[in-house]
A and B are shown apart, each in its own frame.
Chain A
Amino acid sequence: MGMTAERLDATFAALADPTRRAILARLASGEAPVTELAKPFAMSQPAISKHLKVLERAGLVSRGQDAQRRPRRLEAKRLAEASQWLEGYREIWEANFRRLDTLLDKLKTKELRAKKKRRGRRK
């Protein structure tokens, strides 16, 4: 995996913002110029351009061929690398915690039964 630490940091910092994630989600369905990307947001075009610059620096977005429209497009490979990086670790903990859910359910049921028993005995 040829991803340097700085590159990963830039990628995760870029993904940490909801507007930038929304821009990526939009670009996932096809390239688009800045004017179109700005439309769904209550934000000025320069503000959107700023977000795009962060995404470009992180390698998540690039500029398309058309010099006039200057469409932006998603660099899916970079995003996949960033996701993968956390994914293995996440899967391990998700599996652990699903088992812990089951265990906690058992413990709660056991406690409840013990409580009822004690109450029954007192009568």
Chain B
Amino acid sequence: MKNSEGLQLTTRGDREIVITREFDAPRRLVFEAFTKPELVKQWLLGPPGWSMPVCEIDLRVGGKYRYVWRHADGREMGIGGVYREVAPPERLVSTEVFDEAWYPGEAVGTLVLAERGGKTTVTQTILYQSREARDGVLKSDMEKGVAMSYDRLAELLASLPARGMEKSAGD
């Protein structure tokens, strides 16, 4: 799919979401950006209008974290969990439960950082307790988003790898 930053978002099996993205920085810095509250607060904000007034991280196995986001209109959303594995700068495993979870059970997030030539590939895997939970997460985020118009569908199709096709000759 077309996107300049190379974010890859896929589902794996019945219960997982996998997100992959490369960053132009050593993984030591990327790991810090994922685990130091004063840094996390600067980027983990979601859609426009949200800020992150609470970001507490106790970075050790069994340690807890807690994030709270607040929208300009007053809405709040919180999430928390416990670290299961802490291996800087390459691996972090934690549980996650939203305060007002709209899906059953807690999820397990695994962050893996791989460095190559000063660049870091981040792979985030989120394992839900059931397929219904995973699909519920994706669906609710979708419904929050703007419906895709047919213009954007055309754009998507144009960006699909069309090997051996006359239309892609100019690419």
Contact = CB atoms under 8 A, between A and B. Distances in A.
A1 B139 contact: yes
In this complex, the member of A21, A89, A92, A111 whose beta carbon has the largest number of chain B beta carbons within 10 angstroms is A89
Contacts of B157: 24-25, 28, 79
Interface in B148-171: 148, 150, 152-154, 156-158, 160-168
B145 interface: yes
B47 A91 contact: yes
B167 A25 contact: yes
A93 B137 CA distance: 14
B142 interface: yes
A26 interface: yes
B102 interface: no
Nearest to B134: A5
B98 to A, nearest CB: 14
B152 to A, nearest CB: 8
B167 to A, nearest CB: 7
Interface residues of B, number: 52
A86 B160 contact: no
Contact residues of A: prevailing secondary structure: helix
Nearest to A1: B139
A47 interface: no
Interface of B: 3, 5, 7, 9, 11, 17, 19, 21, 23-25, 29-30, 32-33, 39, 42-48, 131-132, 135, 137-139, 141-145, 147-148, 150, 152-154, 156-158, 160-168
17 contacts: A1-B143, A22-B160, A22-B164, A22-B165, A25-B165, A28-B158, A83-B148, A87-B142, A94-B5, A95-B47, A97-B43, A98-B5, A99-B42, A100-B30, A100-B33, A107-B29, A108-B25
